[in-house]
Structure 1
Amino acid sequence: MMNAPQAFAPVKRAIENGRIPGGVVGIVDAQGNRAVEVFGKAQTIPIERPMTRETWFDLASLTKVIFTTTRILEAAERGDIDLDAPLTTALPDFRQYTPDAWERKVTFRQCLGHLTPFPAVEPIYTYGRDPDLLRAFVLQREWRTGPAVYSDINFILLGLALERLNRVRRIRDLDPGKGFAWSAPTDESAATEDCTWRHEVLSGTVHDDNCHALEGSGHAGLFGTIDSILDFAHGLLTGTNASEHTIALIRTQLSDKRTHGWERPYIGWPGGDNAHPETIGHTGFTGTGLWIDFANGRAWSLLTNRIHPTRHSDSGIAQLRRAVGDIINAA
């Protein structure tokens, strides 16, 4: 398949150089042909386990595009929401004590495109351990504002909207779809961090602190294998797991760097500097990523456990992602 051996080489080197413990690379084309290669270890402490093709990964922010964006766009297509209406149409209690608050004017589309003034991240988990109280905190606090940036808060709010629309207490009560889950078996998962506040090496349990404290949210928490990721990508390439309307929106530019939920190519993009303009992609903090090139009918995913056993190391993940993307895009 298209430059597969060359695309696998940077991951092998990164492991040999001790930058990451392990990884899996997968490429699929519109005809369903796929190439997958597995490297290194799924866990190194306190035990060692090999990486396999069946290893489950904490997908982190890939949750935003694989699950939340898809569900929000489906809800819009059904007429359950209007993307240009404020979030208050699903979350009427959002900043309910300040009727003229700017937060009450934020729309679904603005959240999908990260076009809001919310901060990039907030340590919600430090405000308590009761998930219901933390949900109330998210909805009632006066959020500090700044320039529009990529923000977890946008998708935490979209996740809360999905809970209300689907009448579930937790987003994890929603079936995430074939090949994906909200947790995974410990001994079949790529380990993430030796968590300083949960006091254990995480494996099969969500790494994202806020998602863990909220007991499920729209910005993180999904688990999947390389083949589930490639199945999802192939479905978008062929239109078999999403409507034409949804696929058109995830390809529609909302800003220089973003579409509805996804990223589009720019200089320094994780998908490679030579990506075709009709490519979309997204990454996850744990070391995951997915890119879909509609023009050339192919997609690829790089899944690593780059934060095992700690996030505080130079894994070189940014350069690794671009190296893999550049090789695939050159095909």
Structure 2
Amino acid sequence: MGDGQERLADYLNRRVADGWATGFSVAVTDESAIRLRAEVGGTAAALGGEERPIDARTLFNVGSVTKPVTGTLLAKLVEEGEATLSDKVRSIIPEYPFEDTEVFHLLAHTAGYDPANVPVERPLRAKGEEGQRAYLSSLYGIRERISPVGETARYFTEGYSIVMDLIERVAGCDLESFARETLLRPLGMDDSTFDPAKLDPSRVVFPVDGAGRALLELADWGVTGDSGLYTHADDLLKLGRLFLSGGCAADGRVVLRERTIAFLLADASGGRLNQTPAFWVKGAEDRYGCFGDLHSPSAVGHTGFSGCMLWIDPACRAAGAILTNSMTLHGDWRRYKRINNRLLSLFEHEQPR
């Protein structure tokens, strides 16, 4: 890496001074390796309450950046002929209340739910399998929808926990085990986990809300498919390289078929929603408002409430990870856009001429 790393660190330190976050871990990779990275700042949002610096080993709760990972796990079942996006959810989960909801409706947030009226509590890991089933049963107890299925996109995060249940029933094992076997271990994402019980307390930091409160209660949650992944930039960009390399891990093994990668990167909504089976698509207008102006229209990605973003831009042959624990940063998505513009300009500067 050239002077881009120093320039990136300087840029991020200025964002810390602006109050966007108290620390950042940011990196960009091509299909082979990380070419640009910086870690700056620190946080006291840890279980012990001690101030700790952000470094390359810091584990973040990446919020809804979890969703593309869950979508990728579902795509593995599609590849194996065990599921399709058009499957009726009830055909796999008999207690699901609606006959007309298809799997893609959950992925695209078009199942008709009212996100403002979700009377369910997150599962606590102390309650084990019983608590997990109670959580899902409460979701299946929601019997009202505010729009016809497939008509309107309303962000219903719990839909991905329903997808988690679907994956577990089809795969015959829990989400963490299926992810470990089919994705995390083959890619070498050894530090990443859906299970808070597996976290090293000395390395994990938790999201901080706008009032400065650390959400330490997340450590007590059970596994969820919508916002429960803990990871760092190095691991997350191993997933990014999977998409840039056509489905292969660093050792050359095929993790996903090339057609499956194309399936995951392609808009599955006919251009109506800018939504693939796992990601948002920037498109011509960036309707989500988080992609950089310098990203190509084919860029895909997702943000997380904790101030995180993963993006993949096949046209630029690059993938990037922005990791913080700042809900303040997430409060204005133009901040992602500005950071991404700087990442893309510095990444281009780092490329061999």
Which TM-score band applies after superposition, normalised by the shorter structure?
Answer: 0.7 to 0.9
C-alpha contact 2:136 2:162 (8 A) present in aligned 1: no
C-alpha contact 2:45 2:214 (8 A) present in aligned 1: no
Question: For residues 124 and 316 of structure 1, what CA distance do their matches in structure 2 show?
Answer: 24
The equivalent of 1:242 in structure 2 is: 256
Please state how far the C-alpha of 1:319 moved relative to its aligned partner.
Answer: 2.9
Check 1:34–1:225 CA distance in 2 against 1; reply closer, same or farther (3 A cut): same
The equivalent of 2:201 in structure 1 is: 186
The equivalent of 2:341 in structure 1 is: 326
Question: For residues 89 and 144 of structure 2, what CA distance do their matches in structure 1 show?
Answer: 15
Query: Aligned to 2:158, what secondary structure does the other structure show?
Result: helix
Question: For residues 287 and 299 of structure 1, what CA distance do their matches in structure 2 show?
Answer: 17
C-alpha contact 2:59 2:232 (8 A) present in aligned 1: yes
Check 1:186–1:233 CA distance in 2 against 1; reply closer, same or farther (3 A cut): same
Letter in 2 for 1:248: A
Stretches of structure 2 lacking an aligned partner (at least 5 in a row): 249-254, 349-353
The equivalent of 2:234 in structure 1 is: 227
C-alpha contact 1:156 1:217 (8 A) present in aligned 2: yes
C-alpha contact 1:250 1:261 (8 A) present in aligned 2: yes
Question: For residues 52 and 276 of structure 1, what CA distance do their matches in structure 2 show?
Answer: 30
Q: Is 2:82 aligned against 1:77?
A: no
Please state how far the C-alpha of 1:15 moved relative to its aligned partner.
Answer: 1.0
C-alpha contact 2:9 2:40 (8 A) present in aligned 1: no
Please state how far the C-alpha of 1:8 moved relative to its aligned partner.
Answer: 4.5
User: Percent identity among equivalent residues?
Assistant: 21
Range moving further from structure 2, 180-189 or 43-52? 43-52
Please state how far the C-alpha of 1:6 moved relative to its aligned partner.
Answer: 4.9
Instruction: Give the aligned CA root-mean-square deviation in angstroms.
Output: 2.9
Query: Aligned to 1:299, what secondary structure does the other structure show?
Result: strand
Q: Is 2:297 aligned against 1:277?
A: yes
C-alpha contact 1:85 1:107 (8 A) present in aligned 2: yes
1:166 to 168, 171, 179: 171
The equivalent of 1:99 in structure 2 is: none
C-alpha contact 1:276 1:329 (8 A) present in aligned 2: no
TM-score (norm. length: structure 1):
0.83
Please state how far the C-alpha of 1:113 moved relative to its aligned partner.
Answer: 2.5
The equivalent of 2:218 in structure 1 is: 206
Query: Aligned to 1:245, what secondary structure does the other structure show?
Result: helix
Aligned counterparts, 1:265-304, within 5 A:
265=282, 266-267=286-287, 269-304=289-324
The equivalent of 1:132 in structure 2 is: 133
Please state how far the C-alpha of 1:107 moved relative to its aligned partner.
Answer: 0.9
Once the two structures are superposed, residues 125-181 of structure 1 have per-residue CA deviations (whole angstroms, 9 ceiling, x without a partner) of: 18998432221111232033243222213212111101211233x534544413311
Query: Aligned to 1:181, what secondary structure does the other structure show?
Result: coil
Question: For residues 248 and 303 of structure 1, what CA distance do their matches in structure 2 show?
Answer: 26
Once the two structures are superposed, residues 171-198 of structure 1 have per-residue CA deviations (whole angstroms, 9 ceiling, x without a partner) of: 345444133112221221123248x9xx
Aligned residues: 308
C-alpha contact 2:58 2:204 (8 A) present in aligned 1: yes
Letter in 2 for 1:171: L
C-alpha contact 2:56 2:232 (8 A) present in aligned 1: yes
C-alpha contact 1:56 1:224 (8 A) present in aligned 2: yes
The equivalent of 2:351 in structure 1 is: none
The equivalent of 2:155 in structure 1 is: 150
Query: Aligned to 2:333, what secondary structure does the other structure show?
Result: helix
Q: Is 2:34 aligned against 1:14?
A: no
Range moving further from structure 2, 298-307 or 108-117? 108-117
The equivalent of 1:98 in structure 2 is: none
Query: Aligned to 1:236, what secondary structure does the other structure show?
Result: helix
C-alpha contact 1:84 1:108 (8 A) present in aligned 2: yes
Query: Aligned to 2:66, what secondary structure does the other structure show?
Result: helix
The equivalent of 2:251 in structure 1 is: none
The equivalent of 1:49 in structure 2 is: 52
TM-score (norm. length: structure 2):
0.78
Query: Aligned to 2:168, what secondary structure does the other structure show?
Result: helix
Check 1:62–1:316 CA distance in 2 against 1; reply closer, same or farther (3 A cut): closer
C-alpha contact 2:27 2:34 (8 A) present in aligned 1: no
